[in-house]
Amino acid sequence: MKLNGLTAVITGGTQGVGAAIAISLAKAGANLILHGLREDPMALDTIRQCQELGVQVTPIYCDLWQPLDKIVTEIGDRSIEIDSEVSLLVNNAGVFIDKPFIDMDETTFDRTFDLNVKVGYFLTQYFAKRWIQTKTPGRVLFTASINGLLAESDHTAYDASKAAVSSMVRSLCVALAPKGIRVNAIAPGLVRTPLTNQVLDRDPGALRWMQLHTPNHQVPEASVCGPIAAFLLSDDAEHIHGQTIYIDGGMSVWQQPDLPEKLRTGMLQD
């Protein structure tokens, strides 16, 4: 998985899954344009780790909830300023701000789809136009989610947006593969990030419950997502197009977990 001399744009690349992808791409030799919301300790730590691997890192901080043309122009202009042409795009930035379905409002729904779906769609269009013009074999990776396949009751907008990402990857594959551009996605299950740690560390029961629902009984660090991302962006994956790869310990294939002995005994007694 060699990416030496290539340059990647990663949205939401300063923490969580995005940081894991950034570090793995840096290990493979790619220079990085890392987008983050703000310059904070986590962003600076991710940048430091990548630079220590000997690659160039260009940070860009902006809120993706802006007029779309401004976002695309800001990230696109920064990518033009660096020495090497961007040939890798990772649409990782996303948000979960759901309310229960009965309480969902149009603004929250729109903000979810804007960030989880629309920004990545039009960033891909921006770079695809450049790649087609320059005959660059571009590679695009989206971060989908197991929630695009398995539903949760209070995640209706988020689940729908992540399902849209996997569908979009298939459609963009059909549109762009003839142009020499590959499009794929990773779909993490539950992994440890600064956001999920707030819940898992506060509620050990929630952690045990998620481990029970995962065949390998693990809730790993986000770092498990990085190597698969690097593989899908590398020449080693040259014939993989339009796929969503689940990184979930088997959760997406398990109908339901085996009933714990304590619960099984209780049910038999009832």
pLDDT exceeds 70 at position 265: no
Q: How far apart are CA 230 and CA 28, in angstroms?
A: 7
pLDDT exceeds 60 at position 268: no
Q: How far apart are CA 219 and CA 206, in angstroms?
A: 11
**Confidence band (pLDDT; 50, 70, 90) for 269?**
very low
Residue 206: inside a domain:
yes
**Tokens standing for residue 180:** 């020499």
pLDDT tens-digit series, residues 58-110: 999 999 887 778 877 788 777 777 767 899 999 999 999 999 999 999 999 99
To which H or E segment does residue 19 belong?
Answer: helix 16-27
For 91, other C-beta atoms within 10 Å of its C-beta total 27
* Alpha helical stretches, state H, the chain: 16-27, 41-51, 68-81, 106-113, 119-134, 156-176, 194-200, 204-212, 225-233, 261-269
What was the pLDDT predicted at 267? 45
What was the pLDDT predicted at 270? 43
Q: How far apart are CA 93 and CA 12, in angstroms?
A: 4
pLDDT tens-digit series, residues 219-250: 999 999 999 999 999 999 999 999 999 999 99
Domain total in the chain = 1
Between residues 31 and 196, the one the model is more confident about: 31
Residue 2: inside a domain:
no
Q: Which domain holds residue 219?
A: 7-269
Residue 259: inside a domain:
yes
Residue 3 · residue 237 · CB < 8 Å:
no
Longest dimension (CA), the chain: 71
Residue 178: inside a domain:
yes
Domain containing residue 174: CATH number = 3.40.50.720
Between residues 179 and 207, the one the model is more confident about: 179
Residue 169 · residue 144 · CB < 8 Å:
yes
Per-range mean pLDDT, top range of 10-19, 57-66, 199-208: 10-19
Residue 1: inside a domain:
no
Residue 19 makes CB contacts below 8 A (sequence gap 6+) with: 13, 42, 46, 222
CA distances to 11, 17, 260 from 267, rounded to whole Å, are 48, 40, 11
Percent of the chain with pLDDT over 70: 96
Q: Which residues are catalytic, by number?
A: 158
pLDDT tens-digit series, residues 114-160: 999 999 999 999 999 999 999 999 999 999 999 999 999 999 999 99
**Tokens standing for residue 254:** 């398990």
Percent of the chain with pLDDT over 90: 77
**Tokens standing for residue 92:** 């990782």
Q: Give the torsion sign (CA, 246, 10, 98, 183).
A: negative
Q: Are strands 244-247 and 86-91 parallel, antiparallel or unpaired?
A: unpaired
pTM of the complete model: 0.92
Residue 257: inside a domain:
yes
pLDDT tens-digit series, residues 108-117: 999 999 999 9
* Alpha helical stretches, state H, 155-224: 156-176, 194-200, 204-212
Provide the edge-to-edge strand list for the sheet that holds 86-91.
57-61, 31-36, 7-10, 86-91, 139-143, 182-188, 244-247
What was the pLDDT predicted at 201? 87
What was the pLDDT predicted at 85? 85
Residue with tokens 């701000």: 97
